Structures are given as C-alpha cells and as structure tokens.
C-alpha cells in the first residue's frame, strides 16, 4: 500500500497546480486561416466552467471525448490528495490553416490573465498539440506559449506538458519543461490517461519524490512506419518497448513523436523523449535505444495510395461492403490534418462515373451552403459545387434534392441528395469522424457502400463496428503526402533520401 501511495504522489505537502490547454494542429497549405471564432465554436472554457467540464461527471470535449487530458490531470490530483487543481483556460479548434496573429495573442492573453488571477502556484500543467503554426511566427508557437507562461509564474514553478504524438518537438520546447509526455495510441484514445500520467509526474516532482532528468533524439524522418497505428507492425514493437521501459521504476516517461508533416516548420522530424528519476546515463541510453527502434520502424513505407478511379474499382468488388461501407480516406484533403475539406474531386468522379455505389461525401463549400440553407426541404435544385474558395478545385454540376439541414458542434451543413450520393455541403471544414455527423442529417452510414473520411486515424475509433476496409485515396489538396516527400528540406530526410543513419540529422535538428 505504501508503494501505491508513493506511485500516486501521496504523502507530501499541499500543492496548488494550474491546468489549461491551447491545442491546434495546422496545415501550411490551407487557404483558410484559423481565427478566434474557430476556437469559440469548437471548445473554449475558462475557470469554473472548465473545472466542471474536466470532472468525471462533466464532458470535456463534447461529441468527441467526454474525458480528455485535463480530466485525467484532475483525476491525478484527486488521487494524490492535498492538491488544489486550479482551472485556467482551455481552447481547442479543429485542425486548419495557420492561426492568425490576433487569435494567437488572444489565446495567450487569456491563459496569462487566468494565471495572474490564480495566485501562487507550485506547478502548471498544459495540454498542447505540438504542431501549431502562427502567421508570421518563425518559431514553434508552443515554445512561445511556454515562455510566456514562465514569464508570469517565475523560475521556481515547475511546468509539465502533454502533447499529441504527432507533435513536432523542438529544443526550445524541451528546454522550458520539467518533463513532457505524449499520447500512446494512434488513433488517439488515451487522452485522459495521458493527462493523468503528466499530472502524476508533476505532483511527484513537486513533492520531491522524483527528480526528472531528460534525454531526447530527433530523427530525419517525415513519413514511414506503415500505417503508424500503434497496435500493428511495425509501430507495435516500438510502443511495446516504451511500455516495458516504464515498468522500470527509474523511468518516469517515454514518448515517441511521429511528426505532423504539413506545417512550414524548418525543424520537422520524428523524435523520442525519455525522462528518468535522476539517472542521466540511463535516460541517454534509453533515448538511443528508442531512436534506433523508431528509425528501423520508419523503413516500412506508408500504405499504397490509390487514385480515385482505382479506389472506386476496389470498392465495387469489395466483399467488406456486405458488412458496411468501404472508407475512402481522402489523404490530400484531410481536415484532421488541417486541410479545409473542400476537395470536389471524389464527388466529380462518382457523379461522372458509371457505377451503382451509394456514397456519403462531406465537402466544404460555404458559398453553396449559404445559397441552399434557405431553400425549403424537398426542393430539387441545380447547382455548381466549387469547394473551398481559393482552393482551386474543379467545379461540379449537381442536380439533387435538398434533403436535410443540421447545425451542431459538427458545424452547419445541408445534405444534397444526388441520385445515390449524399453530399454534405458545409459552412465550415467538415470533420465527420463520428457517425452522428451523418445521423443528424437523417442517414445511417451503415446503409451505404462508400463513406469519405477527411481524417487519417481518429474516425476508426467511432467507425470500428461500421466500416472494415479503408482505402487511402489521392486527390489534389493541402495535405498531399506526395507533396511532403517531394518538398525540398534543409537536410536529407526520409523517405525522400535513402538514409542509413539518423545521427547526423539528429545533431542538426537538435542544434
């Protein structure tokens, strides 16, 4: 029992720890910038409202995860005892284009104001992403956030942060933190456990039960690792070894970051991070081992990317259609990675092709949405679908019936019934990772042959019992994986160059 109490951080002096979030994943090539309105629409809570949401009885991220990182942190504080968890501010927006400078300052000033009002603190925990990009800012925004927090709380308050495992870790980020932790699952289901781990380590550190020392490596890798799903090869071996490392009581945290490759950062690259309890030599040794494992896993190429016609042909003969729709993962227009979701190319191929497939397709077209939202349901219309303004997509003529309208945290949208196709025309970037996106429009995803996803991973959590075949489809958009490979970099990077060792790239990327 004594060992359990120590592992929970119990038995020490009373503590006050502030907690909050600034979370956004950006795509440099999206024509739609991210503004304050995007955060307010998706998730923005402060003070007492944040405390209510980040409790086991609350709902932290509505329609996505009832319990996320901040709920996990609060649970760690409660388990440790004699810890006052002080709610600050929490803001999250759907991935999109770079954040405007005005929005970034609003986010930071809101967090800073709450810190100033909080009174004396022993520590601060923040849930960050690691792949934010801000217009005109030439360093990692997360590093700026941490630096501004440090200016308020002073040098003695300890900072700990959690990150998405697609975060891009930089020297400036590592330098400001006592330690950091990342998600352990892809698709990401362990948000609350990640917050618990971060809070637990922070509390134990503040009570001088552990003394974190850090080591990290940064690999010249942008893409690789197959599907990068944590539960299957080749990444399964890496994540299994990380869990085994943490069974050693000397090891506080191990993290792997398979970077989000769509920002304009010059410091992109996979990275690994290890924190141990006062054992610097062990941290360095494990960081090297973990870097080698990740490097070897990155040799496995990403899955084959299909053209639209090839994907349609596969779907037509797929035996999995008997159990549910085949998923077309629109890799080049992935809203979950920051694209605007306004590609019209899959719609055009399905409208113009000769097939009998019934499909669900979301498309961002705010101008067409504005034209249709006032049209009575049941009206037949002839329209032109153009997609996101400024996105250079081919126009598609559609003749269909205005079948349904919906407005929720999934955004504003109109369902246009075009033969066997259901096109959800949205005012905002569509992220239909949950079946409720379509059920709110009066259709059941299980009844269709194809469903188009604008997300690479997370939708699989919610569609696990509905869709059983997933085809990566290339279109022409802001999150082109081909573009990632072809883009010139400051140093040689995998998979563009067949590198045999990671160490020279590590020395450059870590400065």
Residue 4: per-residue pLDDT: 64
Residue 288: per-residue pLDDT: 98
Q: Is the pLDDT of residue 1 over 70?
A: no
Q: Is 84 helix (H, G, I), strand (E, B) or coil?
A: strand
Which alpha helices (DSSP H) does 274-352 contain, by range? 280-297, 308-317, 345-352
User: How far apart are alpha carbons 5 and 200 in whole angstroms?
Assistant: 11
Residue 490: per-residue pLDDT: 87
What is the pTM assigned to this prediction?
Answer: 0.94
Question: Which residue(s) pair with 212 in the sheet?
Answer: 277
| 123-128 and 15-23 strand pairing | parallel
Q: How confident is the model at residue 67 (pLDDT cuts 50, 70, 90)?
A: very high
Q: In this structure, what are the phi and psi dihedrals at residue 322, rounded to the nearest 5 degrees? A: -70, -25
Q: Is the pLDDT of residue 451 over 90?
A: yes
Place of tokens 């709450």: 114
Residue 97: per-residue pLDDT: 97
| Burial annotation 21-38 (CB, 10 A radius, 16+ → b, else e) | bbbbbbbebbebebbbeb
User: How far apart are alpha carbons 48 and 30 in whole angstroms?
Assistant: 35
Q: How confident is the model at residue 86 (pLDDT cuts 50, 70, 90)?
A: very high
Q: Is 187 helix (H, G, I), strand (E, B) or coil?
A: coil
Query: How confident is the model over 228-255, as pLDDT tens digits?
Result: 999 999 999 999 999 999 999 999 999 9
Residue 311: per-residue pLDDT: 97
Query: How confident is the model over 109-157, as pLDDT tens digits?
Result: 999 999 999 999 999 999 999 999 999 999 999 999 999 999 999 999 9
Give the neighbor-by-neighbor strand order of the sheet with 271-277: 212-218, 271-277, 251-257
Query: How confident is the model over 457-501, as pLDDT tens digits?
Result: 889 999 999 999 999 999 989 999 999 998 888 899 999 999 999
Q: What is the mean pLDDT of residues 212-231?
A: 97
Query: How confident is the model over 318-339, as pLDDT tens digits?
Result: 999 999 999 999 999 999 999 9
Question: Which residue(s) pair with 45 in the sheet?
Answer: 90
């Amino acid at each position: 029992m004594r060992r359990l109490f120590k592992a929970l951080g119990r038995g020490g002096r009373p503590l006050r720890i502030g907690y909050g979030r600034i979370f956004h994943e950006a795509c440099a090539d999206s024509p739609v910038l991210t503004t304050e309105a995007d955060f307010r629409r998706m998730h923005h809570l402060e003070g007492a409202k944040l405390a209510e949401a980040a409790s086991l009885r609350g709902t932290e991220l509505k329609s996505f995860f009832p319990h996320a990182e901040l709920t996990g942190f609060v649970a760690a504080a409660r388990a440790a005892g004699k810890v006052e968890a002080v709610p600050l501010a929490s803001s999250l927006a759907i991935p999109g284009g770079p954040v405007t400078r005005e929005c970034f300052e609003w986010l930071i000033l809101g967090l800073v104001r709450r810190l100033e009002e909080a009174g004396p603190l022993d520590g601060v925990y923040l849930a960050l992403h690691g792949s934010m990009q801000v217009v005109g800012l030439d360093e990692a925004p997360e590093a700026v956030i941490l630096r501004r927090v440090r200016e308020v709380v002073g040098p003695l308050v300890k900072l700990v942060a959690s990150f998405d495992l697609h975060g891009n870790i930089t020297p400036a980020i590592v330098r400001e933190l006592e330690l950091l932790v990342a998600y352990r699952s892809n698709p990401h289901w362990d948000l609350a456990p990640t917050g618990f781990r971060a809070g637990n380590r922070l509390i134990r550190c503040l009570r001088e039960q552990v003394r974190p020392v850090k080591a990290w490596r940064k690999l010249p890798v942008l893409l690789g690792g197959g599907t990068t799903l944590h539960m299957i090869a080749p990444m399964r071996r890496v994540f299994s070894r990380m869990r085994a490392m943490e069974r050693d009581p000397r090891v506080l945290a191990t993290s792997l970051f398979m970077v989000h490759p769509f920002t304009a950062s010059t410091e992109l690259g996979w990275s690994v991070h290890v924190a141990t309890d006062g054992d610097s030599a062990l941290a360095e040794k494990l960081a090297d081992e973990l870097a080698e494992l990740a490097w070897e896993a990155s040799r496995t190429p990403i899955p084959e990317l299909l053209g639209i016609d090839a994907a349609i042909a596969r779907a037509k003969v797929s035996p999995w259609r008997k159990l549910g729709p085949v998923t077309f993962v629109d890799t080049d227009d992935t809203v979950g990675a920051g694209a605007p979701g306004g590609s019209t190319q899959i719609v055009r191929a399905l409208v113009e092709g000769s097939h009998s497939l019934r499909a669900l397709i979301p498309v961002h077209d705010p101008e067409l949405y504005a034209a249709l939202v006032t049209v009575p349901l049941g009206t037949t219309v002839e329209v032109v679908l153009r997609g996101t303004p400024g996105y250079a997509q081919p126009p598609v003529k559609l003749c269909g019936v205005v079948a349904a309208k919906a407005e929720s945290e999934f955004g504003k949208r109109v369902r246009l019934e075009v033969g066997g196709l259901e096109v959800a025309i949205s005012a905002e970037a569509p992220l239909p990772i949950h079946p409720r996106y379509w059920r709110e429009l009066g259709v059941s995803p299980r009844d269709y042959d194809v469903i188009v996803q604008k997300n690479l991973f997370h939708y699989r959590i919610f569609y696990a019992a509905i869709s059983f075949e997933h085809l990566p489809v290339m279109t022409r958009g802001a999150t082109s994986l081909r573009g990632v490979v072809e883009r010139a970099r400051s140093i040689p990077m995998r998979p563009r160059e067949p590198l045999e060792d990671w160490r020279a790239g590590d020395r450059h990327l870590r400065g």
